[in-house]
Amino acid sequence: MNGSSRNEEAEAPQEDREHQKRLCDYCGSSMALLYCRADSAKLCFSCDREVHSANQLFSKHTRSLLCDACDGSPAAIFCTTESSVLCQNCDWESHNLSSSSVHDRRPLEGFSGCPCLNELLTVVGFENMDKKALLLSDECGGGVGGGDGFLGSGVDGSFDLDDGFSDFLVWDTPSVVSLDDLIVSNPAYKFQAMGVPPLPKNRNAACGRHKEEIFRQLRVLVKSEPNLFSENVDVKPLKSLASEQNMQRGSLFTGFEHDAEPTVFPAYEAHDFQYNDCGTAEKRESSPKTFIRSHLQECCVVPDKHSYNDGSTSHANDGHGHGGQMNSEAASAFPKVAAHELSSQNRETALSRYKAKKKTRRYEKHIRYESRKVRAESRTRIKGRFAKMDH
DNA sequence: GCTCCTCATTGTGGTTCGAGAGGCA
DNA sequence: TTGCCTCTCGAACCACAATGAGGAG
């Protein structure tokens, strides 16, 4: 189509601009994918490895994926609805709208140290991908995703391989979603979701809009350092993986296998993951909207401008897929509200900073010096106050 | 550049007290 | 609406070892 070719022509310079915007601060040539707070630097994977393996001090730096929206801040939120990783500010700006606030979002964690490649894959959500699979993706990618040729990304952010490999890279989807599946598996309600696959464990699985570049750099990394994969990784042939996947759908390459913060999310999120996927419209239609709405409200999982960030209520789910399909309602409402946002941008910025700070606030008492604590506990007191010691 | 010394500052926990919120007549 | 009572929560208080900054040799 002419339209599509024009789009391609328009996309190429856009890619260049994006590349320029995300240039690695260290090498200045590769696309930066990570952000190091300690260094205030954007880095590509190989430079990150080079910089942070220099000594033990550097290796303690915490790095995060780079925000897909501003390209200049560490990402803290993964929006599955938009398949984007966002920093606190961008998350707030794009999700404080009433219609888009129901996007399915979840917090991201950074990493430190000098991780091996499969640990890096875990960080971006593909922990079970082995070296062979990674390299195979290079061979069979066919250049769909840019000149280097990796996996083509579909509309929803999934990949377009015919051999079933792409299925490893999409989020887990229950084959059948029924009304029973929407029942929260909360012991307090004595309800138990029926016939629902177990909750994916790795909630950090996210690599945003730059999956292809991430995989490209990881491939370069594994080619330059063949020992980068840890020895104990069980390398399985791709075909066997595929067949295994058929038997145990969702257990492979979903990026959810890693145990991460099991207690952070309340039980209602279990059902989010159970029916929230890039699945079909029929599935969504089979879920009574009113039921979902009332259920979500009951569980307080629909964050609004005032409450989404308070830490107790986590990121909500609108029941739509995570695969990059923006809520059409939200999309249509965006320009109107965006104008309003510009007028109150300062306030929004201040609010976002406040929200971000509030989110990272530590309520528990933090003891900096254990020796002083021990000393204080053993001190003599008069009505709670420290008393002079008799020497 | 390194070591030693001096001095100001910090941080620690149990108790008390006061401000503020909420309930009730 | 006002006044009183109860409850909750957080700030202040205390002494002193530990810590860090700065200067001298």
Sign of CA dihedral A265, A268, A272, A275: positive
pLDDT at residue A267, as a whole number: 29
Closest-lying nucleotide for A387 based on CA to C1'? C15
Q: Which residues of chain A have pLDDT under 50?
A: 1-12, 98, 138-205, 230-339, 341
Q: Is residue A123 part of a domain?
A: yes
Q: Is residue A168 part of a domain?
A: no
Instruction: Round to a whole number and report the distance in Å from the CA of A77 to the C1' of B19.
Output: 39
- Return d(Cα A350, Cα A68) in angstroms, integer: 21
pLDDT at residue A337, as a whole number: 44
Measured from the CB, is A384 under 7 Å from any atom of strand B?
A: yes
Q: Is residue A270 part of a domain?
A: no
Instruction: Round to a whole number and report the distance in Å from the CA of A361 to the C1' of C16.
Output: 30
Q: Answer yes or no: pTM beyond 0.85.
A: no
Measured from the CB, is A387 under 7 Å from any atom of strand C?
A: yes
Measured from the CB, is A386 under 7 Å from any atom of strand C?
A: yes
Which pair of structure tokens corresponds to residue A348? 């929004």
Q: Is residue A63 part of a domain?
A: yes
Measured from the CB, is A385 under 7 Å from any atom of strand C?
A: yes
Instruction: Round to a whole number and report the distance in Å from the CA of A299 to the C1' of C1.
Output: 39
Identify the residues numbered 309 to 368 in chain A whose C-beta atom is closer than 7 Å to any atom of strand B. Answer: 365-368
Closest-lying nucleotide for A377 based on CA to C1'? B13
pLDDT at residue A136, as a whole number: 52
pLDDT at residue A82, as a whole number: 74
Q: Is residue A389 part of a domain?
A: no
pLDDT at residue A385, as a whole number: 92
pLDDT at residue A123, as a whole number: 66
* Contact (Cβ atoms closer than 8 angstroms) between residue A189 and residue A166: no
Q: Is residue A241 part of a domain?
A: no
Q: Is residue A122 part of a domain?
A: yes
The candidate with the shortest Cα–Cα distance to A83, out of A103, A63, A101, is A103
| Bridge partners, A63 (sequence order) | A36, A111
For A64, phi then psi, to 5°, come to -130, 165
Any idea which residue has 């996007």 for tokens? A103
> What DSSP string describes A108-176?
---B-S---HHHHHHHHT-TT--HHHHHHHHHH-TTTTSTT--PPB-TTS-B--TTSHHHHHSPP--S-
Chain B positions with any atom < 7 A from a protein CB: 11-16
The whole domain housing A131 covers: 19-135+204-222
Measured from the CB, is A363 under 7 Å from any atom of strand C?
A: no
- Return d(Cα A91, Cα A104) in angstroms, integer: 12
Measured from the CB, is A389 under 7 Å from any atom of strand C?
A: yes
Instruction: Round to a whole number and report the distance in Å from the CA of A7 to the C1' of C17.
Output: 69
Instruction: Round to a whole number and report the distance in Å from the CA of A345 to the C1' of C9.
Output: 35
Any idea which residue has 């560490």 for tokens? A74
Closest-lying nucleotide for A368 based on CA to C1'? B11
Any idea which residue has 């699985």 for tokens? A205
What ranges make up the beta strands (E) of chain A? 34-36, 41-43, 63-65, 77-79, 84-86, 105-107, 381-382, 385-386
Q: Is residue A102 part of a domain?
A: yes
Model confidence pLDDT, tens digit, residues A102-125: 666 666 767 777 676 666 666 666
Model confidence pLDDT, tens digit, residues A223-263: 776 665 543 333 333 333 333 333 333 333 333 333 333 33
Q: Enumerate residues 6+ apart whose C-beta is below 8 A from A179.
A: A287, A288, A291
Measured from the CB, is A371 under 7 Å from any atom of strand B?
A: no
pLDDT at residue A101, as a whole number: 54
Sign of CA dihedral A225, A229, A234, A236: negative
The domain total for chain A is 1
Measured from the CB, is A379 under 7 Å from any atom of strand C?
A: yes
